[in-house]
Structure 1
Amino acid sequence: MANESETEAGPQATHLESALEGTRTALDRAVCRAGRGIAWLIFIAMAISVAEVLARYGFNNPTSWVHESVVFLVAVIFAFGGPAALAKNRHIRVRVIYDYVSPARRRWMDVLNDGVTLLFCVAMSYAAYVMFWRSTHDPMGNWTLERSGTSWNPPIPSLIKGAILVALAVMTVQALLHFIQSLRGNGPGQREPTAPARDTAI
């Protein structure tokens, strides 16, 4: 019989394996684990939104910071959705041709796909860097954060552009590692499907 500790650890281990399904590298697995923490930002956004509704309509005392805070939190979640989707190979794709070609041709399709993804991520990272630089520096090159211009006036625009830059930089490294794997013949099309786990407890 399985002991009590194995029984308790079983569902947690299964849930973690499910969360990491489709990952190709250690960086992908780290992104998935970080994503589980970042996902809680949506709960924080919801909680402060509810508090704002109560303050505004229940006590006639609206805040000046909730709206922009929610915009920032949701923007961060969306930005890091890119690395999470790339890590788990859950991006949108059409597999009509891919599923019907030989493994050898599938390998080169993996190389082409990962190469195009890498070029796209490099280009987008450069664009994000330019956008972030302009948001954090004045025309003279001095450090000056772009602000929202509201009564609270936080540097939310600069922070969001910084989050986008970080997310795209992570995606660029992910794409590079995926490209190297595909060149070595270890792309998604070359990996054996994982056999389903069986319960061996008696």
Structure 2
Amino acid sequence: MSQQSSDPRALPDADALEQAEALPPERNALDRLVARGARGAAWLILLAMAISVVEVGLRYGFNNPTSWVHESVVFLVAVSFALGGPAAMAKNAHIRVKVLYDGAGPRFKGWLDRFNDLVTLGFCLTMSYAAFHMFWRASHNPLGAWQLERSGTSWNPPFPALVKGVILFALALMTLQAALHLLQSLRARPAPQATAAPAKEVR
């Protein structure tokens, strides 16, 4: 009578798998810093909701509407939306199609990671260049003097220029993240693929 058994060293360790799943998705110190900052920036949404509630109470409870709440809410939401890009990159949470990636071997996955990081870096560089010109036009008059673009309302805050400045900051930060990710993927070595040990005959 024969019985087949495999070498336990060739099988993945359950504790190792649990530890791998528990590791944070951040790839470097900058990603960890961005992730912590994103948790603080998330409070901007709560602040926007709070001043919206105040506006509703003043408008319908005391017939005393404000002239600043609407623009402030739009500004806070726009800032949080722009900062979501670096946060998603830090947490590796961007939406992606992984049909080809999941079926690839370790070596091919490494090359796919390098290609993905290279394309991401090129995209971020291009968008940062466009954002720089957008912010320059919003922060300087035709003569080149510093003059922030304003909303043109009765309150007239410089929110348009500030939002474009935040967009430029977010894209520049994403460019730096993408460059570090590309360096890490170029230096990384594919992990050896686990293979089952040949079956042994037990008598």
Partner of 1:25: 28
For 1:190 and 1:81, locate their aligned partners in 2 and report how far apart those are by CA, in whole Å. Answer: 31
After the TM superposition, list the runs of 4 or more consecutive aligned residues in structure 1 that deviate by more than 2 angstroms. 189-192
Q: Check conservation: 1:148, 1:156, Cα contact below 8 A.
A: yes
Residue aligned with 1:152, SS: coil
Say which of 36, 51, 58 aligns to 1:48: 51
Partner of 1:101: 104
* Residue identity matched to 2:102: D
Q: How does 1:9-88 map to 2 (within 5 A)?
A: 21-88=24-91
Residue aligned with 2:99, SS: coil
Partner of 2:179: 176
Partner of 2:153: 150
By how many angstroms is 1:21 displaced? Answer: 2.1
Encode CA deviations 1:138-185: one digit per residue, 9 max, x unaligned.
111010100000000000000000000000011000000000011112
For 1:40 and 1:153, locate their aligned partners in 2 and report how far apart those are by CA, in whole Å. Answer: 25
By how many angstroms is 1:74 displaced? Answer: 0.3
Q: Check conservation: 1:107, 1:190, Cα contact below 8 A.
A: no
Partner of 2:130: 127
Residues 1:141 and 2:124 aligned together? no
By how many angstroms is 1:190 displaced? Answer: 5.1
Structure 1-normalised TM-score?
0.82
Encode CA deviations 1:81-111: one digit per residue, 9 max, x unaligned.
0001000111000111101111111111000
Question: Per the alignment, do residues 190 and 79 of structure 1 end up closer, same or farther by CA in structure 2, a change over 3 Å counting?
Answer: farther
For 2:165 and 2:121, locate their aligned partners in 1 and report how far apart those are by CA, in whole Å. Answer: 20
Partner of 1:197: none
Q: Which has the higher contact order (CA 8 A, sep 6+)?
A: 2
Partner of 2:169: 166
Which ranges of structure 2 fall in alignment gaps of 5 or more residues? 1-20, 194-203
For 1:83 and 1:176, locate their aligned partners in 2 and report how far apart those are by CA, in whole Å. Answer: 13
Structure number with bigger Rg = 2
By how many angstroms is 1:71 displaced? Answer: 0.5
Residue aligned with 1:97, SS: helix
* Residue identity matched to 2:138: S
Supply the RMSD in Å over aligned alpha carbons. Answer: 1.8
For 2:130 and 2:36, locate their aligned partners in 1 and report how far apart those are by CA, in whole Å. Answer: 27
Structure 2-normalised TM-score?
0.82
Q: Check conservation: 1:41, 1:74, Cα contact below 8 A.
A: yes
Q: Check conservation: 2:82, 2:166, Cα contact below 8 A.
A: yes
